[in-house]
Structure 1
């Protein structure tokens, strides 16, 4: 890296299918120079395409991260540190705090990322959550499911992107899936670790997310997911088509959850199901939403949450887009191209056509030629994404679905060519 008077802004790893690229672009727009701290820069194709500086190091070693950031600070200066990756938000906050930079409470973030600790804190403060138990072996999982009552949802205590999450309708399914989860437990580096699994009551009702910033509700998002027994997110509608009372109820529930967890600094993404008895918090994520939701929020409302995160972490003025948004289209929808088969990616087609379709603001592939596609029933099954705007929910959704259908992911044998399904 060559010398420059521009201050650095450090990103600790990145998400791979969402807004990692957007973060770097917004840092540059703020007059900062993004640098990605990573174990493997090759994981992020946008780094080369956008000429983003990188520092390769062991990003699971907080001391090494702090040392690298201190070196940046002693050079031309370091404005801030953050991460767009679920797995590194806590350490990014801890590193920033050690260097006297603006940061959320890293320990509160770490506790929040442990789903059992999060549930316990929420329940203790009267925030509605599903009945749940954390277990450490298959037999305990079956007993917990019997106590909670089927159907139940099993998920790893630590994880994101719907990885390992499954609805189990009876004891046999519970035992089978528990064996899978306990047999494949690894940490972020792929090392085997003792597993803990959350067994929780399945909550009926539509799912939403509440996007907040510094304790204020920005918008409520309606979620679309794949059919049971898995919960892969296939699309989002922004804002959710709800009346003012329902939206306010969801927003108040999210804010109560953040308060219970000692959060509220910067961005948070709270997932809630609206049951017949009212909102039930499924999960609080102490970070900006993934899945291109921030792009759709900006398109619909004019509020730029990615820029807000950069500004907050750099100690800059509160960006105007948070409190006084520019005019947006009013409504936006996200739809994903979902893998229908397995195989190596041979070609990606239709991106230009999808990008030129009515109302489309973003059309991107997340699958690159040469990638091996496997069905994992997680965010990794999403091979492309479209964000489209419209005058209403229906128009935005239709535009996004139609444009996603133009994207083709051609797989080598034994898989067959697949087309985007628009999230349906």
Structure 2
């Protein structure tokens, strides 16, 4: 069976998760990408074809001129709609392209949830090239949040406290992203959480989620995520109802939301597996073939009624972050340890000698630390001790 995998840049989710899973499922994989050389350097054994993957027509044409597909899949935030349209064209199992578009387009998500009575959040959209001065006289509920309509990794997401700051921040983002539309929306207070789900269009499994600690405002950088096996009611039910309203239910999904006084409200829906190594941690933590399950849904295979996931494990993810622009001159190497029955895994996300600007986003993360065990206090202690014993140094 042949699976076409759409990708932009290479990611650890594909390299360490989906491609090995495809091999275990005996799938022949063809990667379609607009960055073929970057992928060939990472996995030279895999068939890689150049394609304008942001254009669903180009994807369909490339597949039609190659070999008949049995599945079209992507784990990219940016390519879910294209993959859904291509899969549907060939009569293959797929996400609803309308749901994929609603998830990706943060302004459309807000409009749709409000139109069906699922949730109403004050928001407005600033189109490409539109003068931010038009926002100055809006009756916005300050503080509010500015972000790219189709952004990822908390890039250019910022909290603003006044009309003057709103206009200024929008101009700054437009200078960096001249082709981007922006969303301005009310700041939703509460604890930040995620919900991880996997469905086949018939049943939907909830895989738990994470409680997320962020950097101080005005930015929203993930710093620590603690696994939660199940969210209390009515929280989980409220989010699942909102996902149903969006049409989200096929394949894997990573939803970010806040909880305030038992009211759960979606921040954004990422219609793919949780990123930043969270999917790799989830597979290990639950002790299930997560990536195989995800791919099987796109092959039309039903999910089992019981995934057989472990329920006795606890875990957290930590991200040491850069605090300045500069060159990384000291950092720990990749590490795998067992300390007091806690599995500890550290992976660098930035190479020694690499110079980067400060982005005030998840792009500033220098590495990721996974700790898994059976006791939360032990996991927290091992993670804290490891982080305090290491050194990350950036030379301006």
TM-score calculated relative to the size of structure 1: 0.82
Cα offset for 1:206? 0.7
Residue 199, structure 1, aligned to residue 184, structure 2: yes
3-state SS, counterpart of residue 316 of structure 2: strand
3-state SS, counterpart of residue 319 of structure 2: strand
Counterpart contact for 1:230–1:377, Cα < 8 Å: yes
3-state SS, counterpart of residue 93 of structure 1: helix
Cα offset for 1:357? 4.5
> Take 1:403 and 1:14, find their aligned partners in 2: how far apart are those partners?
34
Counterpart contact for 2:55–2:82, Cα < 8 Å: no
Counterpart contact for 2:215–2:221, Cα < 8 Å: yes
Cα offset for 1:142? 2.7
Size of the aligned set, in residue pairs, is 386
TM-score calculated relative to the size of structure 2: 0.87
1:103 equivalent among 94, 97, 102: 94
Cα gap change, 1:235 to 1:58, in 2 (>3 Å): same
Cα shift readout 1:28-73 (whole Å, capped 9, x = no counterpart)? 121113332211145458723x743322222223233223323443
Counterpart contact for 1:129–1:280, Cα < 8 Å: no
Structure 2 counterparts to residues 12-161 of structure 1, below 5 A: 12-13=6-7, 18-21=12-15, 22-43=17-38, 47-48=42-43, 51-74=45-68, 78-136=69-127, 137-144=131-138, 147-161=139-153
Cα shift readout 1:17-38 (whole Å, capped 9, x = no counterpart)? 5522211111112111333221
> Take 1:171 and 1:35, find their aligned partners in 2: how far apart are those partners?
49
3-state SS, counterpart of residue 233 of structure 2: helix
Cα gap change, 1:24 to 1:223, in 2 (>3 Å): same
Structure 2 counterparts to residues 340-379 of structure 1, below 5 A: 340-345=323-328, 349-352=332-335, 355-358=336-339, 359-360=342-343, 362-369=345-352, 371-379=354-362
Cα offset for 1:153? 0.9
Structure 1 window deviating more from structure 2 (366-375 vs 281-290): it is 366-375
Q: Unaligned 5+ residue runs, structure 1?
A: 1-6, 186-191, 416-424
1:169 equivalent among 142, 154, 161: 161
Cα shift readout 1:361-417 (whole Å, capped 9, x = no counterpart)? 642222235543221122211221122112233333443444455665565xx43xx
Structure 1 window deviating more from structure 2 (7-16 vs 401-410): it is 401-410
Per the alignment, residue 420 of structure 1 pairs with none
> Take 2:145 and 2:206, find their aligned partners in 1: how far apart are those partners?
28
Cα gap change, 1:126 to 1:405, in 2 (>3 Å): farther
Counterpart contact for 1:237–1:393, Cα < 8 Å: no
